[in-house]
Amino acid sequence: MPLFLALLAPILWGSTYATVGLFLQEQSPVWVAVWRALPAGILLLLLHPAKPPLPAKKMLLLSFCNIAAFFFLLFIAAYRLPGSIAGTLSATMPLQVMLLRWLQEEKKPSWWMALLSLAGIAGVGLLLNPSSSPDPIGVAAALAATLLIAQSTLWMSRWQYRDALALTAWQLLLGGLMLLPVALVLAGPPSLPRPHAWPWLVLANSALAYWCWVQALSRFGPAVMSMASLLNPLSAVLLGVMLLPERLSWPQWLGIILILLAVLLMKIPSPLRRPLRHPVAKNTPDACAGRCAARSHGARARDKP
């Protein structure tokens, strides 16, 4: 069950692009970001009233990077890029997490996780629609959004907190409040999404998905969760095939297989990291001294009456 919840978060997030294509094309990206965050935060706090689980500065910083700025950039990318391209760029998260940990914590990434990350990105690259022409602003927004969630993931793995649901609720509430004045300035009066978009946008895509992510992050750590994020573009492409007029070629199906293999193998340790058994040398000074001490102890035991 914990692993299922960990994988559920990126799968639900992959539905963002299909949701935008089906229900939210006429909406402002900034207001969509507000409606995704603010109602979800209010709902979770009504269900689970609790104080912020982190100090004010950390709580505000996390809410800004992981929700406000991330949602703002994410929906710019979703409106300006096809889901396959946006998914390809978001698949750089494992490599970004490894690079940030190397720079900030001096933790050099293992060759095994780096290899799996590259295999996953190669798989997402095969999913890319070759007829699509990427928009530069959308590409920059997608990469910046991925960097923000990678950094936020590392912060949440370092900072001590006990209540994952409270952390999720306060992030969504504060992030939505930060986005509110931005939406009023940039997009004018609020416009509401269609009624049938609310359950998926607020409940599944925000409240449930973010709680699953925060809960799983404390259990599996940033390296595994960044690899699980490869299911985001996979979900985006599969939903595009099922709900939108898109079809997959055989290289794209090969990409799906590569992504699934990378995610499945992420829990298997690198063969080079297995501990080696070193045989005890027979004629070293320490070994000879040990054998002499044992013989002396045996002789004394025999001499006793």
Q: Is residue 97 over pLDDT 80? A: yes
Helix/strand/coil for 276: coil
Helix (H) or strand (E) run with residue 145 in it: helix 136-158
Q: Is residue 301 over pLDDT 60? A: no
Mean pLDDT of the chain: 78
List Cα–Cα distances, 198 to 80, 111, 169, 192, 194, in angstroms: 22, 43, 17, 9, 7
Q: Find out whether 79 and 29 touch, Cβ atoms under 8 Å.
A: yes
Specify the pTM.
0.76
Over residues 208-255, the pLDDT tens digits come to 999 999 988 888 888 788 778 778 777 777 776 676 565 667 777 777
Q: Find out whether 230 and 91 touch, Cβ atoms under 8 Å.
A: yes
* CA-based nearest residue to 197, from 2, 18, 74: 18
Among 8-12, 74-78, 97-101, 132-136, the least confident range: 132-136
Residue with tokens 């190397």: 102
Helices 136-158, 93-105: crossing angle, 10 deg rounding: 50
Alpha carbon of residue 35 to chain centroid: 22
Over residues 11-63, the pLDDT tens digits come to 888 777 777 777 777 788 899 899 999 999 999 999 999 999 999 999 999 99
- Cα separation of 119 and 263, whole Å? 10
What the block records as the tokens of 230 is 């490869």
Q: Where does residue 43 rank: exposed (0-12), middle (13-18), buried (19+ CB within 10 A)?
A: middle
